[in-house]
Amino acid sequence: MKFLQRLLPLAVAFLPMTCALSDPEMIQSVELNSDPKPPSLIYNDPVGGSGGKDFSVIAAPSETIDTLHFWVGDGAGQPKVLRGLQITWSDNQKSTVYGTTTDDYQSFKFAPGEIIKEMQIAKGIRADSISFTTTSRSFFAGGHGGKEVTMNVGSGILVGFQGRAARDIDRLGPIFAQVQPTTLKVGQCMDCSQE
C-alpha cells in the first residue's frame, strides 16, 4: 500500500503526457482508503494581554456551535473591550461564561451549513474585539481599539476558543477544524480520444 501511495502522485503528474502516446493505456480507477481520521484542530494563538486565568472550551465530537454570546464593556483602564464569552452547543447546553456579563450583549446564531470565511481579533492589553465574515453575513463585537490579527480559519468550522479571562476576556484565540480527506479516487481515461 505504501508503494502505491508513493507511486500515485507520480502517475497523476504524468497523466497529461499520456495523451500523446500512440498506444494509449487505460486506468480504470485507483482507490486508496485509510481509516477515517477525526478532523485535526487549528489552535490559533490567543491575542491580547496577559491577565486572567487560562481557559479552553471545545465542542464534543457529536456537537457543533449553535450560538456565540459576547458581552462588551469598559475594560480596566480601557474603553470598550470583550468582557465575556459563552457558547451554546447544538444540544442547547451552554458553556461556562468566561469573563463577566454586562448590559451590552451581542450574539451570533449559526445557520445550518454556515461557515466562517475570515476572522480577526483585535488586541491591546485585552482582547478588544472579534469580527468575522461567514458564507452569508458579517459579525462584530467589542470596541474599536487594538491591532487586528487575522486568524487561520481552516475549514471554516469553529469548534471552540482558548485564552485567558477574569473580569474581561484578556486573551482570545479561536479553534477551528481542519477536515482531512480520507479517500483518494482517481478514474482517468488515458486515451484522450475516448468519450
- Under CATH, which number does the domain 40-178 receive? 2.100.10.30
Q: Report which of 72, 167, 161, 82 is spatially closest to residue 127, judged by C-alpha positions.
A: 82
Annotated domain spans of the chain: 2-37+182-186, 40-178
C-alpha cell at 95: 458553556
Q: From CA 147, how far away is CA 48, in angstroms rounded?
A: 9
Q: pLDDT tens-digit profile of 94-143?
A: 999 999 999 999 999 999 999 999 999 999 999 999 999 999 999 999 99
pLDDT at 34 over 50: no
Q: Is 190 left (phi over 0), alpha (psi -120 to 50) or beta?
A: alpha
Q: From CA 20, how far away is CA 191, in angstroms rounded?
A: 9
Q: pLDDT tens-digit profile of 144-192?
A: 999 999 999 999 999 999 999 999 999 999 999 997 655 444 444 444 4
Q: 7: part of which helix (H) or strand (E)?
A: helix 2-13
- Grid coordinates 452547543 are at which residue? 89
Q: pLDDT tens-digit profile of 62-106?
A: 899 999 999 999 876 668 999 999 999 999 999 999 999 999 999
